Amino acid sequence: MSRHKISVFFEMTEKNGHKLLFDGECPFCRSIVERWRGTLECYGFEIVPLQTEWVRTR
């Protein structure tokens, strides 16, 4: 019985509309976001600091 390795690569090109809001002034929050940014963006999350103008006006 032979064993085959299967690799699957895909890229999500459409945004799903999910946003991760975080406190951009908090060093701990910024470090967590930077650590997970690649993974979160791969799953379609837009990462936005709470200090962004449109967030503050909502």
- State whether residue 56 is helix, strand or coil: helix
- Can you list the positions of beta strands (E) in 1-58? 19-22, 46-49
**Range scoring the smallest mean pLDDT among 14-18, 35-39, 42-46, 53-57:** 14-18
**Range scoring the smallest mean pLDDT among 18-22, 24-28, 47-51, 52-56:** 52-56
Tokens linked to 41: 């963006």
Q: List, in order, residues 6 or more apart from 46 with CB less than 8 Å away.
A: 15, 18, 19, 20
Phi, psi at 20, each rounded to 5°: -105, 115
Residue 4 predicted with pLDDT over 80: no
Domain spans, the chain: 19-57
Residue-level pLDDT at 54: 85
